[in-house]
Structure 1
Amino acid sequence: MTEEQVGNAHTASALTRELMLRDSLRAAGVGWWQVDLREDRMNWSDTLLAIFGVDESAVTGSYAQYRSFVHPEDGARVARADPVCRPTADGDQGGELEYRIVRPDGGIRHVRERGEVRRDRNGSAVSAAGILYDVTEQRLAQLELARSTRALQMIRRCNTAVLRAQSESVLLEEVCRIAVDIGGYRMASVHFASDDPQRSLVLAGHAGHEAGYFSEVAISWSPERPEGNGPAGRAMRSGLAVEVTDVDTDPRYAPWAAAARKRGYRSVISLPLRSHEHNLGIFGLYSAEARGLAPAEIELLHELAEDLAFGIVGLRLKAERQRMIDTATMISHTASSSTGSAFFEKLLQALLRSLGAQAGFISADHTDAEGWVSPICAVVDGEVLPRLRYALSGTPCEDIREGEDLVIERDVCVRYPRSSALAALGAQAYVGRGLFDSTGARIGTIFILYREPLRQRALAASMLRIFGERVVAEIVRQRDEGRVREQALLLDKAQDAIFVRTLDERVVYWNQGAQRLYGWSAAEVQDRCVLDFKVADAAAFRAASEQLRRDGEWLGELEEKCKDGSHVVVECRWTLVIGDDGAPQSILAINTNVTERKLAEARLAQSEARAAHAQKLESIGQLTGGIAHDFNNLLTVIIGNSEELSERLRDRPELATLARMVQSCGERGAELTSRLLAFARRQALEPKRIDLGEAVEGMLALIRRTLGEHIRIENFVDGGVWAVNVDPNQLGLAMLNLCINARDAMPDGGRLMIEIANVVIGEDYAGAGFDIATGEYVMIAITDTGCGIQTADLPRVFDPFFTTKAPGKGTGLG
């Protein structure tokens, strides 16, 4: 062979290798580029053009144009790391970069680049080449998993805060802080709905970079007002999450866009705080990124908002319950320790403290000849005022009707401009009630005043009714000592079970709250021993009673029975009532149903377990996915070169066999890499709509060959099995791994049953701690007659790489 022929052969061989390498890179979705820096001439591969979303005609061929696609936020970092841009070698010839590019259509992609630079003897770059591939999907999968994990962590921390909270304001600030610190939001806020004419959403708590935002903007839930048609107003009215993915492009966010941009808010989601069928307000999350949330993340944030609403309602009920307890205790104490005017003074002071009102009056229902009223008692700013008079005409007291409350939530002075007393006190809100005796005769009036608009209308009216009844009872008692027991009617308005029992545990008083909780009426339990009908744990009850007699009171929890046979957990507050002779007389019991709180604690434990599992899978996924991508790059080179060696060594069979073995091992490694990427959620599944019965029937031959003749396989398929969307390859691999495990559990032979049937998952199953949604499914059940799984190993059966088999016997990622 001549020298020219040898040269041509080498040239042809090099060209063949280059073409094979390019084909391998194209098949792997990897783009390549080459640049002559002295002439500023750059070549782009077809795959690289596709990744950047440009046509070949739009490429000028300059390296500067190539770098112009870098995302502005990544530009400085890429420039610092790019060896091409450095005047000297600085000890390196290239490296690997990961950054974002902005395509001409505005799309953003995440790419990873590896390049090498050739330099002259002076260290100046003369040429460079590299490869680049798209890693957007794996980055988005990582981001979605991380966001869901953060949402689960937020739920866990929120539930902890709910269970530990003693104050509503502290709870709101803590949950907003959790959203900022753990969720990564720039700002979080809670607004409560107001029924004022503007239907305002009133700020109740926030955390993060608020910077006066809510002082600058107005938020409403009225559909007739422009400020009521943003995400908060729409979420409040619909009861659904409302998302603004970009404040700059959503026209309905225009009234707030400028203020939001100034503070770095790019996207917003508003979540309703739902309590039963009523929306308390809005939980708002403001992000520094313009992005939409995945449905799974929105569902988790909905759960977080519901948990927060549950905590708010619980704290309000607890506060109201405590007010009721304090009221019952105060009424009992006042009745026994005060008489005459001192009784009314203490009662009115307690009422104002419990409701946060600034002034209160108890008046007899009679006027003098000039139309003036002299109150029985008047308290302003905590101080008892000496006897005074006020004109009844032109005041709200004139408009009170029998059996009704008069509640004026705001602007009372505007509605009653003739009342100089209201103006002098600076009153904004009024709550009043007429006092009527048992015959229906009006005997007086009780009313309270606020210097700010009233927020808790129902509570104020309810408490006024309770105190008003007690005032009536005392007026009547002072007039007629024989009617003292009417005060017991007050306790029937309490939500809690309040009853009195004798020292030998027999019921002598049983309020309507006790009837609602336990189911028995007062007539059914009168003079019955509580041990005979409602005590579930007699030993615990007797231990509590012993401590009560020793300490004078007992606080704790008991499980008790109801009339319908159900059980409830109650929080008990028992007080030993002492008579005038200093000896114990009876036991006052106030029991609160805390069964729902116990369920909330169970939900917290479940959320913690889910968050821990998600964090573990995220860590494993990041590790395996990172290794798999780099390993895949190496396998591309190995497979490509082994194919070339096989072709070139066809005349040397002994060496060609070795080359094919290398190629086979490389392909097996690529398959393992594919499985690793699938586990790490960086390789998309390829679901198809298939008939499971037919698919499993087609696998049986392979399963029988794999398991051997010593295992009998039985296949049961119900009629009318629904079609499903599933990746057939992954399904086959999963079933084969299960069958292999079954075979290993039956070394001496046995039976393997495969059953396929339609199933419907209901709330009972989905709510029992299983991570599955309700709906229609097709079940594949694989049962064997082998040795089974040890109970201690059951919690770990789905952990990657976990096995109880001897070394080398496990299925790895199976």
Structure 2
Amino acid sequence: MNTRKKAGEKAGNAYSSVSSGAIPMSGILHSPARLLIIVLGAIFFGESVIMLVIHNFMPPMGHEWVGLIDALALMVVITPPVYILYYKSLKKNINLLEMSEKRNKAITQSTNTAIVQINSEGNITFWNNAAEKIFGYSPDEVLGKTFHPLIAPGRYSEAIVKGLAQFSTTGKGVYIGKIFETFALRKNGSEFPVELSVSAVQINNEWHSIGIVNDITKRRRAEEALVNTNRVLKMLWDCNQALVRFENERSLLNELCRIIVEVGGYRLVWIGFTEHDEAKSIIPVAYYGFEKGYLEALKTTWADTGTRGREPTGIAIRSGVTQVARNILTDPSLKPWRKEALKRGYASSASIPLLVKGRGIGALSVYSADKDAFDEKELYLLNELANDLAFGIETSRTRSELRRSEKQYEDLYENAPDMLASVEAKTGNIVRCNKTLAEGIGYSKEEIIGRHIFTLHHANCMEKVRSKVFPALKKSKEVRDAELMLQRKDGSSLEALLNVTTIRDEHGNISHSRLSWRDITALKQMEKNLIQRDEMLNRSQEIAHIGSWELDLANDKTYWSDELYNIYGLKRGDVYPSYKTFLNLVHPDDREKIKIFRSQPFEKGNTNEIEIRIARPDGVERILLDQFNVEFDKTGEPFRLIGVNLDITQRKEAHEKIRRSNAELRYALEKLEKTQSMLIRSEKLASLGHLAAGVSHEIKNPINIILANVQLIQMEDNLGDGVKESCDIMFNQVERVVKIIDNLRDFARERKPEIKKIDLHSFLDKTIALVEYEMRAEGVDIRINYLPESIIIDGDQDQLAQVFLNIINNAHYSINQKRSAQTKKEPGLLSVKTCVKEENAHIIFSDNGAGIDRETLRRIYDPFFTTKPENQGTGLGLSIALGIIENHGGTINATSEAQGGAIFTIILPLARLNKDKN
């Protein structure tokens, strides 16, 4: 922007000055010196002729007449020759001028440089073909018009107007007579760089400027391309230097990013490596430049799925082809990331894959602040850089892997469990050994190296070493698992297995041998201990009456301990131990069970067990507990089963006796508790019944008198409002007392139920119909879910209807209580379900009401216990219902849901006809 401003100032000032060597156009028409010489010559000649004629041929006259005649004669004599001479000269000059103008016009019209002439008012007076080609205007479109609105950018207008004001009067300007670069405007409105040379001429006392204009767009592009190429080459050189000198991969990647941004002039550079996870992520491992959280927002992947997979970095890795976004603002593939990119000043980008043997391991992504910043040459050099980087990374990893392998090999050699040594074939001297050998025999490595191989072995096995080991060193014979004894520095010995391998040089000759000793001292001791433990185990199994077994699934081989033979009633050698033999011993009724058990998949770490019966050859049946663990190979397949058989016959018999005794005790206890509970409830109800029968008559007579008097008072006229209200209250309360007395009489009255066959579903439908209309009108839905088959029970219809209606009315009340407390009332629901279980009919009433708390559930069947207001319930309904159901040989049970609602389950015996049918 600053460059363009300065160029505009130059363009504006170009019209405000004139060069000191300007020539007027009148000098082109004739030469004053030549005319002067002709006139003077003609005067001299004419004057001489006239004076000669006057003095020689005319009479004497006065001076006045002589002067007059002289002047007239001079004019007559001079005018013709002067006119003839000057006309020829003028015509010649005009011809020369026309030829010059034609030549100049031909030159100006054929040149590739635009020539524009402008008068003092800023109007265009000349416009050649090159100007038409460069600016896009024809001469007819511009001649006579003000130049700067047409061909100068608008930001230069003010400076141009000021320059013209000065130029029109003085013909001077700062850049007149100079060559400079600025920007011009084409007809289509686009700007382009030009080289401008301005000169001033004066025509007929008016200053004109002539502009020589060259379009330098290509030159500018070439210069910019050269600068870019040099910049990228410098960047590539610095990066290659970093690749040569790098010490570790991470520092190399960070340094390359820094060089690319600082030397290459880019906005951001980052390097990402592929992850072989489920999402196929690209992990940024290094970046440099103006990032500000862009990579966190990017979250790209090299998978060919979803929006993230369409980001250029992922496509480059996936396809192995460089991806270029020349304008992030318009590139549709970058729409998901456009906002974040533009916020950070990214205008274009290039993602170059990092390929190793044709496989994408990552990508180098470069972001520029300029649109269309990557030309072919620049992309070629960036690809070269990416190839060098990929090669450097591969080389670095190969070197690291090699160093790691060497270190790992050295660690393995030094810390190998076996004692290792390299022995020179010719001499038998030790040239290298590991730390394990040194520590095993108590010497330092320096003390061992250089010693003869014989000196490491115990004297008791020296003959074996001479006969077997030393010849192998000479004749390339391998030694495998030779049992020898090594001599420690402290004089003690250790038992070892020796292995020898010979190594040949490039000529095929034996150069040295590698020896390895495996310390088997502990192994030998373990063998002794194992024998002892086996003896102890067999003895322990015999005492505990436990037999062990092992099954090799791969080879189908089975091992039985001695005690297992005893448990099976066999002797070792009587049968061949196998799974088939074992199945033959299993009781016929248990064989299928154990086959199914063994065929199920086994889990690691679990102990599997099953109880089985065996039929021994002597006819005795025993009960065994078979327990075993499964061992799995590396592929997860079972390859061995190890288990024990424990004879639990006596234990099972004892447990069965205890179980039967416990069952009898539990049954007796439950029967006793139930009897006590029924006795207590019966005593309570009986006492209440006797009380009710005794007092009902005594209470009801006074109550009737009170009721009659209240009615008489209500019949009186002129009663006050307070008296009427009191009478109404007394009437309602007296009716409540009467209702309680009637309930008590019903409760106390012992009436045998009239048992009949009842179709339960039809009976329930009739009972529900009594209250269905009222409940549905209040927003309570009744949902029926009967068993498809009919259910017949024995019962008293009146009593059972009383029970069912009591439960339904209680549910109705509970639902209304809950809904009255709700702002947004949810629908009420009462569900009635039937089913048959174990020759009993189950009737289940469930609602979505307020539910029943734990304390209420405990007292729900107590007489006179109620949660309703005193004028809405007596507390006898469920007590009476319980008595009715128990008299029918059934039960009633109440539960409450945690989220609200109650469930009443009534269980009644099926009718004898149903039982027989079932």
Name the TM-score, length of structure 1 as normaliser.
Answer: 0.37
Flag the structure with more relative contact order, 1 or 2, with Cα contacts below 8 A and sequence separation at least 6: 1
Greater helix proportion? 2
